[in-house]
Amino acid sequence: MTESADAKTVRAPNVLVMGVGSSGSRAVAAMTSLNPELDAVAIDTDTKVLEAIGMKNRIHVGATITRGLSSGGDVELGRQSIEKDSSNIRKQLRQVDLLVIVAGLGGGTGSGALPVITRIAREAGALVLTMVATPFKFEGAKINRIADEAIKRLRSHSDAIIRIENERLVDRSDADLPAEQAFARSHQVMMDGIFSISRLLTRNGVVGLDFACIHTMLRNCDGFCNFASADGAGDDRAKTVVETLLKHRLLNKGRMLEGAAGAVIGLTGGHDLRLSEIDDVMTQLQEKLPDEVWLNFGVAVDPAFEGRLSAIILVAEQWKEPLVDHNRQMGLSFNKNLNPGQGELLLETTGKGEFTNSDPTIHNNEDLDVPTYIRRDIKLPR
Ligand SMILES: Nc1nc2c(ncn2[C@@H]2O[C@H](COP(=O)(O)OP(=O)(O)OP(=O)(O)O)[C@@H](O)[C@H]2O)c(=O)[nH]1
Ligand SMILES: [Mg+2]
């Protein structure tokens, strides 16, 4: 997935996307069919689902516990199934810098397995980003309770969770929306999020969104990040993107930005992406954000986005020092002296590649073509 412009190349983080449970597995399978480059694995107790999704990398767990069936909404069976096959999960995590877990909460497999997988991944030294969809109200009290409890357990493991509240994806005008389409909306939001985050982390960008920045956001967002994405095409693409974000249901029709404590904005465009468009989007979003917000942004260039502009925003409503010291738990440290046994990623200044002959992008006397971690002298830990 690494794109190198010349011999001196920044090592992109290894990102593994892991779909857990039936809806997580289906979501990840849909992502890999759209983007075969994505490093992904599907994990479920249900062999029927795993066979149907047609993904190469899939792991069946709990064969002796659920005998190839789903857990039937039994969280304890989901937990036992993953514990039983934890060595298989560990194998997947070798060399992984960022594990992105995708699941729908409310069933037994995803809700039971996620806290276990998170623990294993942290022990393996990976940063874990969990993207979960919480159930629609129409799914009933029991399923919603299972999801709430799963969130609590995940939180007590101090993982950063990007929560997509399915209920926010519908409103009164959707009364006649078929349930299948409601789920499809949730699916789409997850896909957009995963694609954008992995694109911003792994593509050479005009302004790279680095791993350190995501790490800071995840450590300090007090457990939860909200997420929304928007796309625009043609001459008015920047305007469309801003308007879509500012009335986005997952951002409480834009109101969430006004109280944001932290935000990461990622833009992706083609080679035709203009500086004025980046400026338009950033300026208008920043106008909505409080002055004291912790803000970072990245811009990725992908030829597939010619004529288009795509934006994602991660929003933290709280900003706190983490309760658990992830640095110590994960063997990570931004300050080498605090943790002398740990190595650091050897990241070197990348060449500007196809932008070699272009003018530098200067903002507030900083050359934005130089990756943030170099400008701010941040050492990326391993
Ligand atoms: N996005 C999306 N979400 C779904 C879909 N089907 C179910 N969900 C959501 O995901 C939650 C969990 O369902 P599953 O993934 O089927 O459950 P599981 O983790 O496989 O658990 P068990 O089947 O009980 O072992 C549900 O409560 C729904 O909110 C779907 O097709 N798309
Ligand atoms: Mg299932």
**pLDDT at position 199:** 75
**pLDDT at position 283:** 95
Q: Distance from the CA of 26 to the center of ligand 1, in angstroms?
A: 9
Q: Distance from the CA of 134 to the center of ligand 2, in angstroms?
A: 15
Q: Is 112 in the pocket of ligand 1 (CB under 6 A)?
A: no
**pLDDT at position 104:** 95
CB within 8 Å of 352: residues ≥ 6 apart: 5, 358, 369
Q: Which helix (H) or strand (E) holds 132?
A: strand 127-134
Q: Which helix (H) or strand (E) holds 367?
A: strand 366-367
Please state, in angstroms and as integers, the Cα–Cα distance from residue 289 to each residue in 269, 294, 301, 311, 329, following that order. 23, 10, 25, 16, 32
**pLDDT at position 337:** 27
**pLDDT at position 293:** 93
**pLDDT at position 278:** 94
**pLDDT at position 53:** 95
Determine the atom of ligand 1 nearest the C-alpha atom of 78: 25
Q: What is the dihedral of CA 70, 157, 225, 138, to 10 degrees?
A: 30
Residue ID of nearest Cα to ligand 1 atom 9: 104
* DSSP state letter for 40: E
Q: Distance from the CA of 174 to the center of ligand 2, in angstroms?
A: 26
- Walk along the chain (382 residues) in steps of 10 and give the mean pLDDT of each run: 45 87 94 90 98 94 96 97 95 90 96 93 86 92 95 72 86 85 87 81 66 76 84 96 94 93 92 94 96 90 92 89 45 28 29 53 61 48 34
Q: What is the pLDDT of residues 199-217, one digit of tens each?
A: 777 766 566 666 677 778 8
**pTM for the predicted model, two decimal places:** 0.76
CB within 8 Å of 354: residues ≥ 6 apart: 5, 271
Q: Distance from the CA of 319 to the center of ligand 1, in angstroms?
A: 30
Q: Which of 293, 253, 254, 301 is nearest to 273 (CA)?
A: 301
**pLDDT at position 32:** 92
Instruction: Name the token pair of 332.
Output: 């990570």
**Can you state the angle between helices 108-123 and 21-34, rounded to 10 degrees?**
70
Determine the atom of ligand 1 nearest the C-alpha atom of 71: 25
CB within 8 Å of 223: residues ≥ 6 apart: 155, 158, 159, 160, 161, 318
**pLDDT at position 34:** 87
How far apart (Å, rounded) are the C-alpha atoms in residues 188 and 311? 14
What the chain holds in terms of domains, given with CATH numbers, is: 15-202 (3.40.50.1440), 222-375 (3.30.1330.20)
Determine the atom of ligand 1 nearest the C-alpha atom of 113: 19
**pLDDT at position 39:** 93
